[in-house]
Structure 1
């Protein structure tokens, strides 16, 4: 497995971030959405969008990358259904404006948020703000623009990266939202993605250059 995409800001590798590619460990801040360990299975009818997440049976990928990263700045997406990382210092809530699937239909509430864990010793930057971040998610189906089941909106990733310092690592890059946001901010970034078809999607987005962040959502 080798370098899949490169430009003046971003390098994207195709392969395993824990056993094959360790280049991401040279970055300054880790911003990633690893498999949560919830065995995600979508019941939604879909044409091309995957109904599951590879390696989502447990938290081994998340724990492995955090173990390799050590006590440095990190923002990690996760789920309340699974135990949070041991060294979590703060919890951010991504408010999805009421749009995040149907959830458990036996109760009168639907899910409308995700968790983001703040870890590491910093540094951080920017003005202090609320720990609730309100951004609309990507439309739920591939025909409406979603490229990955857990794809994050670029404006959300841009807001997160704005609080961090230095080059960015995303060792579970998926369709590349973190890398796109980093490039838009003029930040160096290193990504790794295990599945080649997501590398292809990420490379296509990155090769478009720096566009309007709303359009990239």
Structure 2
């Protein structure tokens, strides 16, 4: 049973999850740029989208589906191509996006919903996340502590909680830039282009990824 998991390994897992969430990476940059453009509320929604996507990966690992992506070249290739195409679409949108009034409630509301969905899709279409979870979560699950599936769900939930706190903090800090951006249309355009470059870079990294890469 997951509740019988020793406290020591669980604390170690929480610490490792925090380090992984804090370390600069594509997700952090994504949350930061979108928070600065649309405000901290939208940044938190992006984070919720990313964490929602992790539910899919946790479930995949718990039931062994992630192993299929690690051993099936076809399955891995199909998913990474879909993910890369979506990221390129986002890059195209970002490069074309003009400066807009960030304080318009209707615009922010629409953008928030889109960013939440964007976070989900970006996460679930990245096969590397499933493989990472397969390698990371399995290190802390042990048959000695009961059935593996409940342990994986527990660990996945803890990881999502840690990521939610850290990424929301990033969103809140980056959201403070919103006031400055609302007064600088030129800065909005530059940040949109930066976001587009990030999306394009993520697409390139994903499409060139191999199933066995670390």
TM-score range, shorter chain: under 0.3
* TM-score between the two structures when normalised by the length of structure 1: 0.22
Bigger share in helix: 2
* Larger RCO of the pair (alpha carbons < 8 Å, separation 6+): 2
* TM-score between the two structures when normalised by the length of structure 2: 0.22
Larger of the two Rg values belongs to structure = 2
